[in-house]
Amino acid sequence: MPVYEYSALNRKGKNVHGIIDADNPFAARERLRNLGLFPVEVSESSPRKRSISPGGLPFSHIVNRVKSSHVSIMTRQLSTLLGAGIPLVSSLEALMLQTKNPVLKRTLAQVKESVNEGDSFADALSQHPGIFSPLYVNVVRAGEASGALEPVLKRLAEFSENQETLKGRIRSALAYPIFMFLVGFVVLFFLITYVVPNIVRIFQEMDQVLPLPTLILIGTSRFLRSFWWLLSLMVVGGIIGILYLKESRKGRYIWDKYRLLIPILGNLYQTMALARLARSLSTLLSSGVTLLTALEIAQRIVDNLVIADDIGTAITEVQEGKALATPLSQSRWFPPVVVQMVSIGEQTGELDDMLEKIADTYEREIEATIMTLTSLLEPVMILLMGITIGFIVISILIPIFEMNQLVRW
């Protein structure tokens, strides 16, 4: 049954928007009238509509974005409905009615229509790659094949919730240092470009030989007042250059490798990538996906081409009959403890459990590392601001003291 997007007026004359399924536009308008709505515009929403690719319209991925938290909530609700014995199509229709995100609402309507037309649930989800990741689709596919869709969806919801919880903790830990940095930068920029020039103008008018710190402060102030626009362009240009570099595979590879080699932060980034990889593989394997398929999916979703290439090597060697731990041990990005736990998991037949333990361990390590770094970052930022402000104060006070000495003489 086709899906239609509509704009209508309710009994109070308020404009409302939504979606509705009907056999044709006339039936859609009739259904709206029965609901007490007066249709203004009704247009069919294509059931094969896919997320716009990176080469599509600029910023379309932002406009049509569905937060992962919304997908997580929807997955949890769908699992609950299926667990209560409600059929899949009826469950999707119930989710459509209570979902507030218009893009997700439209997507659910299109998924429901595809399922009604005979597509599997996984195939219907795969038509919307911008919302449902390969991991999500393949886990659902495995759940459909095994007849255990409800527990598989529950596992997917838990996976998404764990990822969102970790991201939330990272964002909350970094929020205060970033705020301090921005406020400190604005304050220092205001002092150097507006306050300092008004003070040092007194010294310049007296034709007094100024000390070196004061000359440095005056030069810095003049440079920032005259060329702040150039610095801004350099910063914006640098950001655009990095984004452009990441568009090509070679540039993305160089960027990803550089991130892994940064002191301290590189180790943290590596840990985050391994935690995501282990969690994804654990979820796929525990849902019934084969190891090779799980590795292929993980290779596509891991956010680092360097590690992805090592996973590709592992796929080739596993296809040749080798254990997964063997190619991982040859990579510099997989620590010995990870390789050892993977080897034990393969030997005992509990690889998914071992990968889950790796993910749990690394996620706790990530949280502890970020808390430590942020606790150290705050005093360091305060110290740097204190040194900068102290330099400004000293640069202003030295000429004043020298003037005072001249007056006494």
pLDDT tens digits for range 186-234: 888 888 888 777 777 777 666 667 788 888 888 888 888 888 888 889 9
Average pLDDT over the chain reads 81
Dist. CA 89–CA 145, nearest whole Å: 18
How far is the C-alpha of 88 from the C-alpha of 120, rounded, in Å?
Answer: 11
Q: Does residue 1 have a pLDDT over 60?
A: no
Residue in this structure with the two tokens 């394997």, named with its chain if needed: 285
Q: By the 8 A CB rule, do 6 and 39 touch?
A: yes
User: Is the pLDDT assigned to residue 59 strictly greater than 60?
Assistant: no
End-to-end CA distance of the chain: give it in Å, rounded: 98
Mean pLDDT of 352-364: 90
Question: Which phi and psi (to 5°) does residue 212 adopt?
Answer: -60, -45
Give mean pLDDT, residues 390-399. Answer: 83
SS3 call for 18? strand
What is the rounded CA–CA span in Å between residue 371 and residue 174? 9
d(CA 44, CA 34): 19
Cα(8)–Cα(6) distance, integer angstroms: 6
- Answer positive or negative: Cα dihedral of 279, 280, 285, 290: negative
- The dihedral over CA atoms of 102, 104, 105, 110, expressed in degrees to the nearest 10, equals 130
Q: Which helix (H) or strand (E) holds 44?
A: strand 38-45
Distances (CA, A) of 229 to 186, 189, 216, 226, 235: 15, 13, 21, 8, 10
> Is pLDDT at 47 greater than 50 in this prediction?
no
Phi-psi region of 349 (alpha: psi -120 to 50; beta: other; left: phi over 0): left
DSSP per-residue string spanning 289-339: --HHHHHHHHHHHSS-HHHHHHHHHHHHHHHTT--THHHHHT-TTS-HHHH
- What values do phi and psi take at 294, rounded to 5? -60, -40
Domain 260-363 has CATH 1.20.81.30: yes
Structure tokens at 71: 């997908």
Domain ranges across the chain:
1-45, 260-363
pLDDT class of 53 with cuts at 50, 70, 90: very low
